[in-house]
Structure 1
């Protein structure tokens, strides 16, 4: 695979169909400005953070520092990227009801050794 340049990455729109299948702007997590910054600069920031592209300017180094948490995000793209990372890496909520479905046909607790007696009236 050929190395991509900064210009090529800036032309590509950043998408995340796994976490945001309808896009960033329709998710409700991001403002219009944040979704536009994320769509425009997301590919570049992802390539810089993953090490696929070496930083060329101070701005590129700023993206990396903000993404790693070394400094506070300053630009709109840095803020949007940090917010995006917090959203996709947040802990998954569990159910208070558990994961196993317990329907009417589920008689694990009522085996042959059960002390429950059923009386039928004739």
Structure 2
């Protein structure tokens, strides 16, 4: 898979989950961070359906994004790693709020 197939001229950022950048959070290597920054915008658009694949590499990436096959290329593995990290953060936040909410509800119900 050719990296050039995913270059959009826009750098991909995720300030919500990686406020210091991909390379400074300790999740990605420098090479992975660069690939994600360079190609992530196009992959994100493919993933959301806001653009259609423009070449065979993007078509293959879309198959991966749709879960039709496992990651085979470095770029697919990096995107998978990115998504896994987001899911872990979401689960951690959800667990924290759920545990806080349930312990609060339990103490309220014992007052009756």
Q: With structure 1 as the length reference, what TM-score do the two structures score?
A: 0.66
Tell me the equivalent position of 1:92. 92
Q: Indicate which of 2, 5, 20 corresponds to 2:18.
A: 20
Q: Indicate which of 54, 79, 82 corresponds to 2:80.
A: 82
Runs ≥4 in structure 1, deviation > 4 angstroms? none
Tell me the equivalent position of 1:42. 40
Larger Rg: 1
- Structure 1 segment 95-106 matched on structure 2, within 5 A: 99=100
SS at match of 1:63: helix
Contact 1:15-1:23 at 8 Å conserved across structures: yes
Distance 1:50 1:37 in 2: 19
SS at match of 1:19: coil
Structural RMSD (CA): 2.6
Deviation at residue 18 of structure 1 after TM alignment:
0.3
Distance 1:85 1:74 in 2: 16
Deviation at residue 58 of structure 1 after TM alignment:
1.3
* Unpaired runs of at least 5, structure 2: 102-107
* Higher RCO (Cα < 8 Å, 6 or more apart): 2
* Unpaired runs of at least 5, structure 1: 1-6, 101-107, 112-122
SS at match of 1:20: coil
